[in-house]
Amino acid sequence: MKAIIAPSRLSGTIPAIASKSQAHRLLICAALADGPTSIACPTLSADITATAECLQALGAGITYAHGVFSVSPIASVPPCPALDCGESGSTLRFLLPVVCALGAKAQIKMHGRLPQRPLSPLWEELEHHGARLSRPQADIIAVEGRLTPGDYTLAANVSSQFISGLLFALPLLGRTSTIALTGHLESASYLIMTVRALGLFGVDCPLEGSSFTVPEARYVSPGQAAVEGDWSNAAFWVAADAICGHTLRITGLSPDSPQGDRAVSELAGHIAAGNAVIDCQDVPDLVPVLSVLAAVTPGETRFVNAGRLRIKESDRLSATAGLINALGGDARELPDGLAVTGKDRLSGGEVSSVNDHRIAMSAAVAALACSGPVILHGAQAVNKSYPGFWRDYAALGGEVTLEEEP
């Protein structure tokens, strides 16, 4: 799908969509619980749906109606379940250890760039504790065996999702296990989200120093739960608000949320002050849209400690720099980040989403600061996290025309 986005100015009130990060976690806990759970989740995305459908393949009963998931937990795993993760890295990394803990002989399907995204050292640690993993095809993981309890070790600076996946799985193993973390912990806020979700379902495993002690535990359903508003996707409206002169009001966000991306407003303020250095270690997903804001803010903004962005849905450092430069801006790749020099306005031009939802939405925000239209190829990439993005963009006054492409 192609989006033709004319220069415009957004204004009005926009409710935040549901946090897919929290939805993944609550759905997994509910599927492993001792009884049914209702989860209020007012909006869906391709990634949330992928997790729900994978849990259904493992034997959970999940329906969705009127903004609520009704989850009946897994009673028994069907023989040879097939799980399709779509392009969702969270779904894969959270559920791979769970599949191993359940002892399921399963196949996991991956799409897009997901087969190229790393699974080491989680893969090796699972195999060291009883799982048998193989890649019969580049886009399929075959799983056999059952995880055993014990002492696990993971590098903390690779992906917090690996650690979260083990935290979901280890309570199922029959006795206490530990997870020792080595190196600097990145994206710590997402681990806090996991620990809080587990706590809601009666599983207590706080981080103590550099390790988790994970007891044998029964997931106990709270009966009801609710997915909070998503700061990661609200970041696009925060940046748009700054570009348009503070004409937007975003509702449904908790200032006390454990989501690390709640820092977006503060970071946007640093950029506005000029010549900022943004440490992206805990907020890598904010880099594309904050780079767009930096491209139309005086001074140079440097984004550092963002090397992990090279292994996301796209190489987001390359894709972000390419987007800004194609629209008449000035962005330079660094080994682990970006240097963006601001201009008064961008010119517009033709760009690709490179099938990355955050690049697609960043292009829409950039169009607000362009003198000419932005033609975006691959506009459907927003469906991964925010299927209603183009509708909401238009409702706020954005001038966008969507056309099918061959």
Residue 184: band (very low, low, confident or very high) from pLDDT cuts 50, 70, 90? confident
Are 289 and 251 part of one and the same domain? yes
Domain boundary among 226, 249, 270: 226
Q: Concatenated DSSP letters for 8-47?
A: ----EEEEPPB-HHHHHHHHHHHHTBSS-EEEE-S---HH
Residue 308: band (very low, low, confident or very high) from pLDDT cuts 50, 70, 90? confident
Are 75 and 135 part of one and the same domain? yes
Task: Using alpha carbons, list the distances in angstroms from residue 248 to 242, 243, 292, 395.
Answer: 9, 10, 18, 12
Domain count, the chain: 2
Question: What per-residue confidence (pLDDT) applies to 209?
Answer: 87
Please state the rounded mean pLDDT for residues 76-97: 97
- Tell me how far apart the alpha carbons of residues 97 and 161 are, in angstroms, rounded to a whole number: 11
Residue 159: band (very low, low, confident or very high) from pLDDT cuts 50, 70, 90? confident
Give me the domain span that covers residue 252.
Answer: 2-16+229-403
Is the pLDDT score of 157 beyond 90? no
Please state the rounded mean pLDDT for residues 53-76: 98
In whole angstroms, how large is the CA radius of gyration of the chain?
21
pLDDT tens digits, 190-200 = 999 999 999 99
Question: What per-residue confidence (pLDDT) applies to 156?
Answer: 86
Q: Report which residue type is found at 23.
A: A
Is the pLDDT score of 186 beyond 80? no
pTM score, two decimals?
Answer: 0.93
Is the pLDDT score of 133 beyond 90? yes
Please state the rounded mean pLDDT for residues 119-145: 97
- Indicate the average pLDDT of the chain: 96
Are 73 and 104 part of one and the same domain? yes
Domain boundary among 176, 199, 226: 226
Residue 327: band (very low, low, confident or very high) from pLDDT cuts 50, 70, 90? very high
Are 209 and 284 part of one and the same domain? no
Please state the rounded mean pLDDT for residues 22-30: 98
Please state the rounded mean pLDDT for residues 284-307: 96
Q: For residue 125, give the CATH number of its domain.
A: 3.65.10.10
Phi, psi of 51 (to 5 degrees): -65, -45
- Tell me how far apart the alpha carbons of residues 234 and 219 are, in angstroms, rounded to a whole number: 31
Contact 44, 387 (CB under 8 A): yes
Please state the rounded mean pLDDT for residues 340-361: 97
Q: What percent of the chain has pLDDT over 70?
A: 100
Are 312 and 288 part of one and the same domain? yes
Are 237 and 317 part of one and the same domain? yes
Q: Report which residue type is found at 147.
A: L
Are 311 and 254 part of one and the same domain? yes
Is the pLDDT score of 248 beyond 80? yes
Q: Would you name the residues annotated as active-site residues?
A: 285
Are 233 and 222 part of one and the same domain? no
Question: What per-residue confidence (pLDDT) applies to 252?
Answer: 96
Please state the rounded mean pLDDT for residues 42-69: 98
Are 322 and 393 part of one and the same domain? yes
Please state the rounded mean pLDDT for residues 302-317: 91
Residue 313: band (very low, low, confident or very high) from pLDDT cuts 50, 70, 90? confident
Domain boundary among 204, 226, 248: 226
Contact 80, 105 (CB under 8 A): yes
Are 54 and 168 part of one and the same domain? yes
Residue 386: band (very low, low, confident or very high) from pLDDT cuts 50, 70, 90? very high
Is the pLDDT score of 326 beyond 90? yes
Are 173 and 307 part of one and the same domain? no
Question: What per-residue confidence (pLDDT) applies to 188?
Answer: 85
Are 164 and 270 part of one and the same domain? no
